[in-house]
Amino acid sequence: MPQTIHISAGTDFVKDSVKVRGACPHDCPDTCALLTTVEDGVAVKVQGNPDHPQTGGVLCTKVSRYTERSYHPERILQPLKRVGPKGSGRFEPVSWDSALDEIAARLQAIARRNPEAIAPYSYAGTMGLVQAEGMAARFFNKLGASLLDRTICSAAGGEALTQTLGGKVGMKVEFFAEARLILIWGSNSIASNLHFWRYVQEAKRHGARVVCIDPRKTETADKCHEHIALRPGTDAALALALMHQLIVHDWLDHDYIAQHTVGWDELRQRALLWPPERAAEVCGVPVEQIIALARDYGNTQPAAIRLNYGMQRVRGGGNAARAIACLPALTGAWRHRAGGLLLSSSGMFPINKAALQRPDLLAGRRPRTLNMITIGDDLQRDSSPAFGPKIEALIVYNSNPVAVAPESGKVVQGFEREDLFTVVLEHFQTDTADYADFILPATTQLEHWDIHAAYGHTDVLLNRPAIAPLGQARPNSAIFRALAARMGFTEPCFSEDDETLCRAAFSHPDGDRVDFNELLDKGFATLAIPDAPFADGRFLTPSGKCEFFSARLAAQGLDGLPDHLPNHEAAGSSAEFPLAMISPPARNFLNSSFVNVKSLRDIEGEPLLEIDADDAAARGIPDGAIVRVFNQRGEYRCRAKVSARARPGVVNGLGVWWRKLGLDGTNVNQLTSQQLTDLGRGPVFYDCLVEVQLDQAAAL
Ligand code: SF4
């Protein structure tokens, strides 16, 4: 017999099987198709859907334990109101009615003075188009709240792709399996892009050579034929030196360059300034390695580059991504379906954002935009003509800024403000939820509808709810719907249910861009995209060409050509803080998600700092010692792991631990800065100098 599950938003859903098709909501390029087994209304297992080619029936360790997360004993299952001082983490249960009434009253009072004093704060805690910026965006647009520049992950690289290729577009991931040379540039694919790694393994079986370019000797580097351990923030120098070699040896596709690029003469002049010897000095790698890589890249077809976002979290990250994105056009790699570059495929999805988010509700208002990177400073700013009104209320959903935003000492100071009204929609009492005035219990992916684009493949996925919401939890969409009603927002769009929002995501006046019935039937649908999208040029730039020279950047007063920009905190620039620190994700966490899942935290153990043996010996640090990691912004204590995974002069602070689960109530972001990237106003998490010392107190 079909079983009916009642969703809190009032949607009834008739399930035809005990296995329910869904989508992984996490910030990962793979966007896997899920199959959740439900028995007597309880989700007992979450598996990969074997029918979805990109998933292949396999999930990562993290999400295969999704039931442990959904049924976690510490799940927040009722609205909570603060009873202790800010940050004390003391709350008492309240009814939904009383929480929503009080929140709406507080927001209305602030909005009467100036709605821009209210700000959303959200990112990729769920990647679903409905539970992320669906009903929430409608709510904030109608309110006239500040807008948020959601820059914390990919802004510099995204802007670089847009300026060079015309959007976040690239080769289709499945064709990496046919490449003869693969450069994995700034990606620990085994940990954070597992399904791409399957294609690499297939390519390797067929004889492909695989090179990893990464300051850290990752698990992925271990499995590649070669590892190039460059200094953080020097990727553009390496890319320019590769161009230099392609030019001087004439390993170029002149026909492709002539027909499908803009700015070749200018780029040529720029690249000739970067002989391999100069780049070797900047990057801290042997010159022979650069020359050999250029020879391989210039003489192997098809050659494919899997670029990832780690390398663009430095001052010159946008320029670096631009330089790398120019390479395939120089060799004509785009002619082959297994050649080119993939950083993100998200720009290939024809999402109807206007239908989902309804910017028309702004009704001509143009609120200020806050950058989520500088929330630490912004929460401490007073009203001014330049800044606008002081931030009086923050609504946080799908994010944990106290743990993940840079310079977290300042972020904490901001959240501690007694005059800041903070509402957090969450599954757990995170570091951020500790500072809330109200915590509202949100559903997990097993309990709500959603629809997903991807940034590592080109399939749309539908997520059906597998179980009823636990406790009193509600989908984000339902929470914003209820708040809208209390605020007196009467537009019909605030009454639309989640299935309607899912249908709107790919709707279009000329006809839907994705067949919703196919999504209902199979759980996924593949976009119709040519196998080699840029074989004949047709880039999405204004010129229709790969723009080596960007007139749009030049018009902004920026360099129209890619170049190497040294880090804000370049290696060797400080005697006081001589070590560069990067903070790549711990393998069993995803940003700050999963840190409180005990079985995964047990694998990770505790916060670690990987340090090279000579750097450790010079400081008298034995393996396993507790160390102080510090700079001008703060101090963080963790355990040192003397490891070949760290290159000399660079330490790896694995993240992102919840502060309260660390050794001293801090995490690695105590040390990172709020400076911005060259393009996209993104974060510079990997542009950070520190010093490390043995913690004498712990050593006693
Ligand atoms: S986190 Fe990534 S690899 Fe893991 S299940 Fe989700 S999409 Fe797949």
> DSSP per residue over 433-484, as a string?
GGG-SEEEEBP-GGGS-EEE--SSSSEEEEE---SPPSTT-B-HHHHHHHHH
What average pLDDT does the segment 570-592 reach? 91
Residues near 382 by Cβ (< 8 Å), separated by ≥ 6?
Answer: 390
**Atom number in ligand 1 closest to CA 31:** 7
pLDDT for res 509: 86
Burial of 114 (0-12, 13-18, 19+ CB in 10 A): middle
Give the residue, by CA position, lying nearest to ligand 1 atom 6.
24
- CA of 590, closest atom in ligand 1: 1
Computed over every residue of the chain, the mean pLDDT equals: 95
Residue 33 CA to ligand 1 center (angstroms) comes to 9
**Strands, DSSP E only, in 520-633?**
524-526, 546-547, 579-582, 608-611, 626-631
Q: Are strands 579-582 and 650-653 parallel, antiparallel or unpaired?
A: parallel
Q: Please tell me if the CB atom of residue 62 comes closer than 6 angstroms to any atom of ligand 1.
A: yes
Which residues are registered as beta bridge partners of 19?
A: 37
Beta strands in 123-194 (DSSP E): 147-149, 181-185
Evaluate if pTM is beyond 0.85.
Answer: yes
Ligand 1 atom closest to residue 194's alpha carbon, by position in its atom list: 3
Q: With 60 as the cut, is the pLDDT of residue 493 above it?
A: yes
**Could you give the CA distance from residue 34 to residue 45 in angstroms, rounded to a whole number?**
10
**pLDDT tens, 594-603?**
888 788 888 8
Q: Does the C-beta of 616 come closer than 6 Å to ligand 1? A: no
Is pLDDT of 12 > 60? Answer: no
Mean per-residue pLDDT, 27-48: 95
Flag whether pLDDT at 207 surpasses 70.
yes
Q: Which residue's CA is the nearest one to ligand 1's atom 4?
A: 60
Ligand 1 atom showing the smallest separation from residue 28 Cα: 2
Instruction: Determine what percent of the chain is predicted with pLDDT higher than 90.
Output: 91
For the chain, the distance separating the N- and C-terminal CA atoms, rounded to the nearest angstrom, is 66
Instruction: Using most ligand atoms within 8 A of CB, pick from 194, 346, 445, 463 the residue to mutate for ligand 1.
Output: 194
Say how many Å lie between the CA of residue 633 and the centre of ligand 1: 34
Q: For residue 275, say if its preceding peptide bond is cis, omega within 30 degrees of 0.
A: no
Atom of ligand 1 nearest to the CA of 193: 3
Residue ID of nearest Cα to ligand 1 atom 3: 60
**Three-class SS state of 174:** helix
Cα–Cα distance, 247 to 265 (Å, whole number): 11
Q: Is 28 in the pocket of ligand 1 (CB under 6 A)?
A: yes
Tell whether the model's pLDDT for residue 391 goes beyond 90: yes
pLDDT category, 195, cuts 50, 70, 90?
Answer: very high
Pairing of strands 19-23, 33-39: antiparallel
Question: What is the average per-residue pLDDT within 263-285?
Answer: 98
Degrees to nearest 5, angle at CA 195 with 191 and 199: 115
Alpha-carbon torsion, ordered 654, 656, 661, 662, to 10 deg? 40
Residue 48 CA: which ligand 1 atom is closest?
Answer: 5
Whole-number pLDDT of residue 359: 97
Residue 479 CA to ligand 1 centre (angstroms): 26
190 pLDDT exceeds 50?
Answer: yes
39 bridge partner residues = 42
CA dihedral angle for residue 512, residue 513, residue 514, residue 515, rounded to 10 degrees: 40
- Token digits of residue 298: 């210039």
Segment 112-123, tens digit of pLDDT: 999 999 999 999
* Predicted pLDDT at 17: 53
CB 481 within 8 A of CB 495: yes
Q: How far is CA 72 from CA 405, 631, 679, in A?
A: 25, 37, 40
Mean pLDDT in residue range 406-424: 97
| Two structure tokens written together for 160 | 């670089």
| Cα separation values, 578 from 325, 617, 652, 688, Å | 31, 15, 14, 10
Q: Are strands 340-342 and 209-213 parallel, antiparallel or unpaired?
A: unpaired
DSSP sequence for 289-310: HHHHHHHHHHH-SSEEEEE-GG
Q: How far is the C-alpha of 589 from the C-alpha of 67, rounded, in Å?
A: 16
Nearest atom in ligand 1 to the alpha carbon of residue 62 is 4
Range with lowest mean pLDDT among 5-9, 165-169, 391-395, 577-581: 5-9
CA of 428 to the centre of ligand 1 (A): 20
Amino acid at 56: G
Over 80: is that where the pLDDT of 134 sits? yes
List, edge to edge, every strand of the sheet that includes 524-526.
Answer: 450-452, 459-463, 524-526
Q: Which pLDDT belongs to residue 587?
A: 81
CA distances to 193, 246, 340, 533 from 306, in Å: 10, 19, 9, 16
Q: Measure 95 CA to ligand 1 centroid, in angstroms.
A: 35
Q: Is the pLDDT of residue 531 over 70?
A: yes
Å from CA of 63 to ligand 1 middle:
6
Retrieve residue 583's tokens. 């903070």
Whether the Cβ atoms of residue 93 and residue 78 lie closer than 8 Å to each other: yes
Mean pLDDT of 52-72: 94
Q: Is the CB of 279 under 6 A from ligand 1?
A: no
Q: Predicted confidence band at 604 (pLDDT cuts at 50, 70, 90)? A: confident
Q: What is the rounded average pLDDT of the residues 552-568?
A: 98
- Closest atom of ligand 1 to CA, residue 25: 6
Tens digits of residue pLDDT in 624-652: 999 999 999 999 999 999 999 999 999 99
Q: Is 459 in the pocket of ligand 1 (CB under 6 A)?
A: no
Residue nearest to atom 8 of ligand 1 (CA): 32
DSSP for residue 571: T
Residues in the chain: 700
**Residue 124 in contact with ligand 1 by CB distance below 6 A:** no
**Which ligand 1 atom sits closest to the C-alpha of 24?**
6
**Collapsing DSSP states into helix, strand and coil, what is residue 682?**
coil
CA distance 196 to 491: 43
Determine if residue 529 is left, alpha or beta; phi over 0 gives left, psi from -120 to 50 gives alpha, anything else beta: beta
Pick from 60, 67, 461 the residue to mutate for probing ligand 1's pocket: most ligand atoms within 8 Å of its CB. 60
59 CA → ligand 1 middle, Å: 6
| Conformational region of residue 146, where left means phi above 0, alpha means psi within -120 to 50, and beta covers everything else | beta
Name 593's Cβ contacts closer than 8 Å, sequence gap at least 6.
26, 27, 62, 125
pLDDT recorded at residue 7: 39
CA 72 – ligand 1 centroid, Å: 19
186 conformational bin, left if phi > 0, alpha if psi -120 to 50, beta if neither: left
Apex 178 CA angle, 296 and 532, nearest 5? 95
Ligand 1 atom at shortest distance from the alpha carbon of 59: 5
Asked if residue 140 has pLDDT above 60, the reply is yes
Could you tell me if the CB of 453 is within 6 A of ligand 1?
Answer: no
Write the CB contacts of 438 (distance below 8 Å, at least 6 apart in sequence). 79, 80, 81, 82, 94, 99, 102, 103, 422, 423, 424
Q: Is 395 in the pocket of ligand 1 (CB under 6 A)?
A: no
pLDDT at residue 599 in the model: 82
Is the backbone peptide bond immediately before 460 cis, with ω within 30 degrees of 0?
no
How sure is the predictor about 45, in pLDDT bands with cuts at 50, 70 and 90? Answer: very high
Pocket flag, ligand 1, residue 580 (CB < 6 Å)? no
Q: At what angle do helices 317-331 and 155-164 cross, to 10 degrees?
A: 40
pLDDT band (50, 70, 90) for residue 512: confident
In this prediction, residues 225-249 reach a mean pLDDT of: 98
Q: What percent of the chain has pLDDT over 70?
A: 97
Residue nearest to atom 7 of ligand 1 (CA): 31
